[in-house]
Chains A and B, each alone.
Chain A
């Protein structure tokens, strides 16, 4: 049985003449504990799929199931205890006036936990930040530290699926390595299922076992990482993408 399944997903913005189809007829399955990648160029609709799954974009049709349960248009609170998301830009995803403690504390409170203090401590340790960062504000943190806080926030609910929207593209390469390692460790420790969006094939290849290639709102090909490494792609667009990025 799959942990997350998306069938014939369509997502659009606007109405009538202004309607733009951001995702057209996308279908894929992610097994429990698997790590699945979505790659494509900007505007191909890969991030929009994540936003539709989480309910941040309300205009979608098709079927989304999480752990065998159909996801309704209006998300129930329990949905967010299963599915969480990490955003692309850590400089934009933390409230500028809330300290790390406030961000994590509020999240834990919303999920109905009682032992908030102990959990904040544990979350900070989990993401490798430690206690000295607890009362800092976002402007006192580096990009990598902010992204760790964002990951801690996503983990606070103890979710089973983590949606990662280009989690390292705003970071330096050395920091990217640290965050990717952290994600690897967390997946092993907590048995998480990942869906990762990225434009960087090497990053997706490092994290994911299977990936979908998107172009112009459609999934053109789903392949496994071995084919990616061997540069065996069927669709001409995937081949072009591989050529362009492996050139280095």
Chain B
């Protein structure tokens, strides 16, 4: 079933030198799956995530033939209706939890507030729900964490709390923008495992935005590879290493590997034709 349907999405920023197209006609659908979007900085992958939630600030412009959440067009919604979508039906986890949590509120208060915004509930019920949410991201000493402030948490802990908070309203879609790139590898795996478990068990759709090809290959079902604002290739994540587009191949080859020592790494030769060629659709 299709949760989200994006067709011909453009994001543009007017600049002194003319209009800059950050995203150029991206199309894809999202079912109950883990969809990865990979690309380098400036490829438009983060802009795509933000555009879906209409979080692009003016003077940036978002245009699309359609961005439909379960058949309802998000572009036609008023800002008020959009606020009900953000967080409640589509949640977003950012790279650094430090900037997403309020530094002067305890974690417990923030979780409880998030719950009460989504559900009619008294404080007690909300507290229990918050504790459950923390338990679902493998935080066992929830009571202690609830009393703590964000700066007292490590990066991995903070990101788990963020995920717990984003999942409280029971959204259908989670957009995760580089959720683990600020974390150490061991913690990275834990956070991904938790996210994976939640998404699968709740039947959610996940858009996983990352620059890390290996991570996406491991973790996702389907991958869109973005270059210069376009999707240049779509493939199954477990077949990412058999990708055919020269850009994807170039990215894969430029990674140093422990198992294949090389004197020099192969360098990506950018072909202007890549950004000119029409984009690939990720719609099913």
A203 at the interface (CB under 8 A from B): yes
Interface pair A229/B184, CB less than 8 Å apart: no
Could you say which residues of chain B place their CB within 8 Å of the CB of A248? 214-215, 217-218
- What residue in chain A is nearest B266 (Cβ atoms)? A177
Chain B 245-277 per-residue mask, 1 if CB under 8 angstroms from chain A, else 0:
000001100111111011111111000000000
A15 to B266, CA, bound (A): 48
Interface pair B267/A178, CB less than 8 Å apart: yes
Interface pair A184/B189, CB less than 8 Å apart: no
B211 at the interface (CB under 8 A from A): yes
- What residue in chain B is nearest A171 (Cβ atoms)? B41
From A143, A205, A244, contact of B41 by CB (8 A): A143
- What residue in chain A is nearest B43 (Cβ atoms)? A172
Could you say which residues of chain A place their CB within 8 Å of the CB of B188? 244
From B184, B211, B217, B266, contact of A172 by CB (8 A): B211
**Consensus secondary structure, chain B interface:** loop
Interface pair A229/B261, CB less than 8 Å apart: yes
Binding site for B on A (CB under 8 A): 41-42, 143, 172-178, 180-181, 184, 199, 201-203, 205-206, 225, 228-229, 240-241, 244-248
Interface pair A202/B255, CB less than 8 Å apart: yes
Could you say which residues of chain A place their CB within 8 Å of the CB of B218? 247-248
Which B209-234 residues have C-beta < 8 A from chain A?
Answer: 211, 213-215, 217-218
Interface pair B256/A199, CB less than 8 Å apart: no
Interface pair B251/A174, CB less than 8 Å apart: yes
Asked if A177 meets B268 with Cβ closer than 8 Å, knowing A172-B211, A184-B263, A247-B218, the reply is yes
- What residue in chain B is nearest A42 (Cβ atoms)? B184
Interface pair B265/A199, CB less than 8 Å apart: no
- What residue in chain A is nearest B257 (Cβ atoms)? A202
Interface pair A202/B184, CB less than 8 Å apart: no
Could you say which residues of chain B place their CB within 8 Å of the CB of A184? 263-264
B201 at the interface (CB under 8 A from A): no
B17 at the interface (CB under 8 A from A): no
Asked if A206 meets B186 with Cβ closer than 8 Å, knowing A172-B211, A174-B267, A248-B217, the reply is no
Interface pair B255/A173, CB less than 8 Å apart: yes
A173 to B186, CA, bound (A): 21
Can you list 8 A-B pairs with a CB-CB distance of less than 8 A? A174-B267, A177-B256, A177-B266, A180-B265, A205-B256, A205-B261, A206-B261, A240-B186
A175 to B41, CA, bound (A): 11
Interface pair B256/A202, CB less than 8 Å apart: yes
- What residue in chain A is nearest B250 (Cβ atoms)? A174
Shortest beta-carbon distance from B220 to chain A in Å: 13
Which B105-123 residues have C-beta < 8 A from chain A?
Answer: none
- Apart from A173-B213, A205-B258, A241-B186: 10 A-B pairs, beta carbons within 8 A: A41-B184, A173-B251, A174-B40, A177-B268, A180-B265, A199-B184, A205-B261, A244-B189, A248-B214, A248-B218
Binding site for A on B (CB under 8 A): 40-41, 155, 184-186, 188-189, 211, 213-215, 217-218, 250-251, 254-259, 261-268
Interface pair B185/A173, CB less than 8 Å apart: no
Shortest beta-carbon distance from B31 to chain A in Å: 25
Interface pair A174/B215, CB less than 8 Å apart: no
A246 to B258, CA, bound (A): 8
Could you say which residues of chain A place their CB within 8 Å of the CB of B155? 42
- What residue in chain A is nearest B253 (Cβ atoms)? A177
A225 to B213, CA, bound (A): 24
A173 to B262, CA, bound (A): 16
A180 to B218, CA, bound (A): 25
- What residue in chain A is nearest B189 (Cβ atoms)? A244
A203 to B184, CA, bound (A): 15
Interface pair B40/A203, CB less than 8 Å apart: no
Interface pair B256/A206, CB less than 8 Å apart: yes
A24 to B14, CA, bound (A): 53
A203 to B215, CA, bound (A): 16
A178 to B256, CA, bound (A): 11
- What residue in chain A is nearest B181 (Cβ atoms)? A169
Interface pair B258/A173, CB less than 8 Å apart: no
From B214, B217, B265, B268, contact of A206 by CB (8 A): B265
A248 to B258, CA, bound (A): 11
A225 to B263, CA, bound (A): 14
Could you say which residues of chain B place their CB within 8 Å of the CB of A173? 40, 211, 213, 251, 254-255
Interface pair A181/B262, CB less than 8 Å apart: no
Could you say which residues of chain A place their CB within 8 Å of the CB of B255? 173, 177, 202
Could you say which residues of chain A place their CB within 8 Å of the CB of B185? 41, 199, 241, 244-245
Interface pair B258/A201, CB less than 8 Å apart: yes
From B217, B254, B257, B259, contact of A176 by CB (8 A): B254
Interface pair A181/B211, CB less than 8 Å apart: no
Shortest beta-carbon distance from A129 to chain B in Å: 15
Interface pair B268/A174, CB less than 8 Å apart: yes
From A174, A175, A203, contact of B256 by CB (8 A): A203
